[in-house]
Amino acid sequence: MLAAEPFSDEPSCVCPVIAEFLRTYNDHVDDERRQDLYAFAALAVGTRETPAVERRRANLCLEWWLEQSAPRARQLRRVLWKLSPSSAMRDMEIAHRAARWAAASGDRHAAALELAEALVGSAPITVDPEWAAAPQREPIPA
């Protein structure tokens, strides 16, 4: 509605990675934390970018998640790297799992909001050069 599109939780003008993170986080938090997400609906409008930018955003979610949950890092990398590095499914799965993990504890809320700000562009996206060099996926046909 904010983007003058039909109502949907997957608007075409929003980066799918951002949409997945915000949608999943919203669905798994309590009403109090959910209130902090309203601003992101407007901030996310117009964030759809190239597949390379979507990949960087997914990798930002993964790096954030691994950094926040260091003891599980090795296991998480194994699971996620089984998915094709050039697949949209991998990017969406990363955003989904990072959001579910963040929502599981109220102590992670502030960090999840900081990640959301970085994803929508309110903060710079910095990515490890190794991740930036990952193979890019093919654009989705219009």
Gap between the Cα atoms of 68 and 64, Å rounded = 6
Domain count, the chain: 1
Q: pTM for the complete prediction?
A: 0.75
Gap between the Cα atoms of 142 and 48, Å rounded = 13
Count H helices, E strands: the chain?
8, 0
Gap between the Cα atoms of 114 and 112, Å rounded = 5
In a domain, 87, yes or no: yes
Amino acid 138: pLDDT: 44
Amino acid 22: pLDDT: 95
In a domain, 55, yes or no: yes
In a domain, 141, yes or no: no
- One digit per residue, pLDDT tens: the chain, 142 residues? 444 445 555 666 889 999 999 999 999 999 999 999 988 888 888 898 888 888 899 989 988 988 888 766 667 766 666 666 667 788 898 999 999 999 999 999 999 999 999 999 854 444 444 444 444 444 444 4
Q: Which residue range forms the structural domain that includes residue 92?
A: 16-124
In a domain, 84, yes or no: yes
Amino acid 73: pLDDT: 66
In a domain, 140, yes or no: no
In a domain, 100, yes or no: yes
Long-range pairs for 104-109: beta carbons < 8 A, 24 or more residues apart = 104/28, 106/30, 106/33, 108/68, 109/29, 109/33, 109/36
In a domain, 1, yes or no: no
